[in-house]
Amino acid sequence: AKKKGKANHEVFEPRMDAPALGRLRMGTDLRRAVERGEFRVHYQPEVSLETGEVVGFEALVRWEHPEHGLVAPARFIPVAEETGLIVPMGRWVLEEACRQARAWQDLRPDGPPRVMSVNLSARQFEHPDLARDVARALRESGLEPGRLVLEITESVVMNDARSTVGTLGELKALGVRLAIDDFGTGYSSLSYLRRFPVDYLKVDRSFVDGIGEDPGDAVLVSGIVDLAHALGLNVVAEGVETQEQLALLRGMGCDLAQGYHFARPLPSEEASTLLARARPL
Ligand code: C2E
Ligand code: CA
Ligand code: CA
Ligand code: CA
């Protein structure tokens, strides 16, 4: 075990409270998990609201903990982010997702083109090796750059607008597509959307949730769709759970949707089965 690093240092802090101790243990476990390859990627379909076809997948990481079983990202991503382990973990997710996308493409080379979306955390986005890592994942998997979508949250994009423009430009130069994730939850000045070379807006689930009941949410989502289209962006609705939400989103002209109504995030074998079934969702 390493002797350096913030987490290991904190272990000797005498007045540490219990939650911090839990985080520490998790930090140690996480480091081991990276080394032992305990992470898995699940894939959630993204569906075209026009055709009902699966037009892409979002890669979502899970941790197969030897004692606790499958752990959700909300429980370990914050610790991974704090300790910096998110960088090697995220690099692995990126590589794995690109390999999987390429494998699905090879299964049906004449099938409809599908994209693979991968989440980038703040730490990854700010890391100087990001573009190099993305380029390598594309090269080693043989995935066409245009089939990879990198998702960055609104808050990360807005954090330092000047350096963001530079990093987004570097990524775009590789030929990948970019999505703003959790759109609507941050404080972006909408004018920035014009300056960032993004391709997709993903409307946060909290807004999609309410569109059936809250007229305010419906107006908001409808406005986001119109704005995005005016700027030439595609809109993905996250967290679609009901037929009613689906119908409303379709009426608004939303392009893509993702949510339990269609499918949960699936292990790769189950996602493959779903793809083989060809029938629109
Ligand atoms: P996200 O990027 O906003 O991902 C969507 C989350 O919503 C996923 O949770 C997904 O399972 C969930 N979801 C999808 N449809 C529905 C629905 O209809 N209803 C409900 N209630 N939930 C739905 P998950 O997989 O637990 O991931 C949570 C977050 O963890 C992600 O939010 C993302 O911020 C982060 N994350 C996941 N995988 C990665 C990764 O590989 N790298 C990074 N940096 N972050 C990741
Ligand atoms: Ca996402
Ligand atoms: Ca999201
Ligand atoms: Ca979210």
Higher pLDDT, 194 or 88: 88
Q: How close is the Cα of 248 to the center of ligand 1, in Å?
A: 23
The backbone torsions φ and ψ at residue 89, rounded to the nearest 5 degrees and listed phi first, read: -65, -45
How far apart are alpha carbons 256 and 240 in whole angstroms?
10
Q: How close is the Cα of 206 to the center of ligand 1, in Å?
A: 13
Q: Which range among 13-27, 161-175, 202-216, 245-259 has the greatest average pLDDT?
A: 245-259
pTM (two decimals): 0.91
Q: Which of 24, 27, 28, 23 lies closest to 11 in space, CA to CA? A: 24
Q: How many residues does the chain have?
A: 281
Q: What confidence tier does 13 reach under pLDDT thresholds 50, 70, 90? A: very low
- The predicted pLDDT at position 140 comes to 98
- Which H or E run includes 45? strand 39-48
For residue 254, count CB atoms less than 10 angstroms from its CB and return exposed for 0-12, middle for 13-18, buried for 19 or more. buried
- The predicted pLDDT at position 20 comes to 60
What tens digit of pLDDT does each residue of 123-176 get? 999 999 999 999 999 999 999 999 999 999 988 888 777 788 899 999 999 999
Q: How close is the Cα of 8 to the center of ligand 3, in Å?
A: 32
| 10 and 16 Cβ atoms separated by less than 8 Å | yes
Residue nearest to ligand 1 atom 6, measured at CA: 239
How far apart are alpha carbons 114 and 92 in whole angstroms?
21
Percent of the chain clearing pLDDT 90 (strictly above): 70
Ligand 1 pocket residue status of 144, Cβ below 6 Å? no
* Range 49-59 average pLDDT: 96
Pairing outcome for strands 200-203 and 177-183 = parallel
Lowest mean pLDDT among 5-19, 35-49, 260-274: 5-19
- The predicted pLDDT at position 269 comes to 97
Pairing outcome for strands 39-48 and 177-183 = unpaired
**pLDDT of 8 strictly over 50:** no
Ligand 1 pocket residue status of 184, Cβ below 6 Å? no
What tens digit of pLDDT does each residue of 58-102 get? 999 999 998 888 999 999 999 999 999 999 999 999 999 999 999
